[in-house]
Amino acid sequence: MAEAIERGEPLSAAVRSARLRMGAAQKLAVRLGERLEQLGPAMRQQLRDSQQLDGVLRDVVARFLYVCFVVFVMSGVTTFIMLRIVPVMQKMFQEFGLNLPAMTRLVINASNWYVMNGWWVTAPLVLFVSGLAVLGFLHFVGWFPRDLPLIWHLFKRYDGALVMRGLALAIARGMPLPQAIQLVADCYPITNVASRLRLAAERTMGGSDWRQSLLETGLIRQADAAVLGAAERVGNLPWALEEMADSAMRRQIYRVQAALQVVFPVVLLGIGGVVGMFVVGLFVPLISLIQGMT
User: Contact, 177 vs 163, CB < 8 A?
Assistant: no
CATH number for the domain that contains residue 215: 1.20.81.30
Q: Is residue 84 part of a domain?
A: no
Q: What is the DSSP letter of 99?
A: P
pLDDT at residue 119 is higher than 70:
no
Query: For all residues of the chain together, what is the average pLDDT?
Result: 82
| pLDDT (0 to 100) of residue 135 | 73
Residue 49 lies in a domain: no
Largest distance between two CA atoms of the chain: 92
Q: Has residue 198 been placed in a domain?
A: yes
| Mean pLDDT for the stretch of residues 272-284 | 80
When pLDDT is averaged across residues 249-254 and rounded to a whole number, the result is 82
Q: Is the pLDDT of residue 201 over 80?
A: yes
What are phi and psi for residue 148, nearest 5 degrees?
-65, 135
Percent of the chain beyond pLDDT 90? 24
- Residue 268 belongs to some domain of the structure: no
- Cβ atoms of 218 and 196 closer than 8 Å: yes
Residues 33 and 41: beta-carbon distance below 8 Å = yes
- The domain containing residue 186 runs over which residues? 150-255
- Decide if pLDDT at 139 tops 70: no
- Whether residue 89 is contained in a domain is answered as no
Residue 169, in any domain of the structure = yes
Is 211 within the bounds of a domain? yes
| CA-based torsion, 256, 258, 263, 269: positive or negative | positive
Give residue 185's pLDDT.
94
Q: Is residue 61 a contact partner of residue 139, using CB atoms and an 8 Å limit?
A: yes
Kindly report, residue by residue over 19-78, the tens digit of the pLDDT.
Answer: 887 778 888 889 999 999 888 888 887 776 666 777 777 777 777 778 778 877 877 777
Domain total for the chain?
1
pLDDT 10s digits, 76-104: 777 787 778 777 777 777 777 767 777 77
- φ/ψ of 167, rounded to 5, equals -65, -40
Residue 134 domain-assigned? no
pTM, to two decimals: 0.75
Give CA–CA dist 217/201, Å, rounded. Answer: 11
Burial 147-185 (b: 16+ CB within 10 A, else e): eeeeebeebbbbbbbbbbbbbbbbbbeebebbebbbbbb
